[in-house]
Amino acid sequence: MTKVSFFGAAGEVTGSNFLVETDATKYIVDCGLFQGKDYITDLNDQPLPYNAAEVSAVMVTHAHLDHIGRLPKLVRDGYRGPIYATEATIELATIVLKDAMGLSTERSEREGKPVLYEEVDLNRTLHQFQSVPYHQPRKLSNGDQFTFYDAGHILGSASVLLEAGGKQLIFSGDIGHWPSPLLAEPDPPQPSSAGADLIITEATYGGETHQPDDRLNVVKNALEWTIQNRGVLLIPAFSIERSQELLFLLHELFEHHQLPKIPIFLDSPLAIEALAVFERHLELYRKAVVDEAHGGHDMFDFRGLVLTPAVEDSKDISQQPAPKVIIAGSGMMAGGRITHHLKRYLSHPNTYLLIIGFQAPGTMGSAILGGAKAVHIHGEEVPVRAKIVVAEAFSGHADNPQLMQWLQKIPLNTNGKLAIVHSEPERAEHFLTFAQSHLPNHPIIVPKIGTMIEV
């Protein structure tokens, strides 16, 4: 008997954590942080609902914090086995987990909450990582094995086919939204001819269809407006993937669309650090990008680009004359350097605020999206006079039609089941309706925290 239990991303989109039990052993897929309005929510302080020391292997789908943020906690609780991920995921996870430790320590000092883990746990975790390329089955104990497939979500992201206890289990990870300027289309896992026994799929955008905007066009329009109005283009962006993708698009516009070069500031230490990983893994991009890179095209570096890792350099950005572009975190405007730029520029009518990411309820981003006339930043009321543009094209997640396309490419066993995770309840219900019409004779489950499915 193989069993899968859901201890995160069940009834919500964060905290991904799945336990697989066979008669012989236990595995974990993802061990992410619960996040909401707070970067680290209190749910993370709860003990893990299983014995970490009994787990024999961990598989990680990608380097986003809501998929890796509790790995050091798992190690702290006694997990000493391998943590399998792609090379790029390991490199990005190293940056992301170090940053998260700092934030966990700050939270502890500010609110008296316990730290999630300490440096010794983090260092152990990083040593336990082992890299596995796409499409290469990796043997586990007792004849079990797993294979990674490109999920097209962020650099190095994977879906997992886990063959455990004689059953074929598929974990989607986060499925990318294509076409992406950099990444290839998601590559759905292919179980052996019997078909999968259980598919666990994300449904972040269940029931939704993204506007069919072209990402390059979105940035082109924003850039042209900014140049014409001698304004400031502000782009709050997540540090991993979105920031690097923006640089790639801006480079394209300057090189191939003859737009006048204006200064671009990448004002995010995390995004700057991650840039090196993106430059090292050219093999992971879609074919046209790889060909261009091999032709000597430096994808992320161009005249006019200024990286500002130090706080002093960041402060100097305001001295630079407009027009200019500032890319800074956090993506939800909930903190980080973007707040300083918003405080300075949000009240100017020649500011263009380009919102490209999800804005969680309660964040400043969602208030601005909701049409707030003014927002409070660092104790000051700042009127919103900037031009606000929202671009869904940048979503990192497949929409409903794409989720269905991904699902339809995976053969399911006649007794196979589907579980819908990583989704708000309403969106999971929408996706359930679509999935039922595609798989009318199969059980489809929307698990809650603690739900266990026997396969």
> In the bound complex, what is the minimum distance in angstroms from residue 304's beta carbon to Zn ion?
30
Token pair listed for 208: 């939704």
> In the bound complex, what is the minimum distance in angstroms from residue 7's beta carbon to Zn ion?
18
Token pair listed for 247: 């640089």
Contact between 177 and Zn ion by CB under 5 A: the answer reads: no
Say which amino acid occupies 217.
N
Q: Which residues pair with 419 in a beta bridge?
A: 200, 445
Burial classification of residue 448, based on how many CB atoms lie within 10 Å of its CB (0-12 exposed, 13-18 middle, 19 or more buried): exposed
User: Residues 169, 20: contact at Cβ < 8 Å?
Assistant: yes
Q: What is the 3-state secondary structure (H, E, C) of 378-410?
A: CCEEEECCCEEEECHHHCCCCEHHHHHHHHHCC
> In the bound complex, what is the minimum distance in angstroms from residue 159's beta carbon to Zn ion?
12
Token pair listed for 179: 């076409």
> In the bound complex, what is the minimum distance in angstroms from residue 242's beta carbon to Zn ion?
11
Contact between 174 and Zn ion by CB under 5 A: the answer reads: yes
User: Residues 332, 359: contact at Cβ < 8 Å?
Assistant: yes
Q: Choose one: 120-128, 170-178, 296-304, 406-414; the region binding Zn ion (CB under 5 A).
A: 170-178
Residue 345 or 431 having the CB closest to Zn ion: 431
Q: Choose one: 19-27, 37-45, 174-182, 310-318; the region binding Zn ion (CB under 5 A).
A: 174-182
> In the bound complex, what is the minimum distance in angstroms from residue 156's beta carbon to Zn ion?
11
Residue 97 or 326 having the CB closest to Zn ion: 97
Q: Choose one: 62-70, 96-104, 340-348, 439-447; the region binding Zn ion (CB under 5 A).
A: 62-70
> In the bound complex, what is the minimum distance in angstroms from residue 395's beta carbon to Zn ion?
11
Cα gap 398→22, rounded to integer Å:
31
> In the bound complex, what is the minimum distance in angstroms from residue 359's beta carbon to Zn ion?
16
Contacts with Zn ion by CB under 5 A: the residue count is 2
Q: Choose one: 14-22, 56-64, 83-91, 285-293; the region binding Zn ion (CB under 5 A).
A: 56-64
Residue 25 or 172 having the CB closest to Zn ion: 172
Cα gap 105→145, rounded to integer Å:
37
Angle between helices 87-111 and 119-128 (to 10 degrees): 170
Q: Choose one: 57-65, 227-235, 296-304, 369-377; the region binding Zn ion (CB under 5 A).
A: 57-65
Among 26, 64, 73, 167, the residue binding Zn ion under the rule CB under 5 A is 64
Contact between 397 and Zn ion by CB under 5 A: the answer reads: no
Cα gap 135→127, rounded to integer Å:
23
Residue 278 or 352 having the CB closest to Zn ion: 278
Cα gap 146→267, rounded to integer Å:
39
Could you tell me the sign of the dihedral formed by the alpha carbons of 41, 43, 44, 46, in that order? positive
Residue 338 or 398 having the CB closest to Zn ion: 398
Point out which residues bind Zn ion (CB under 5 A). Answer: 64, 174
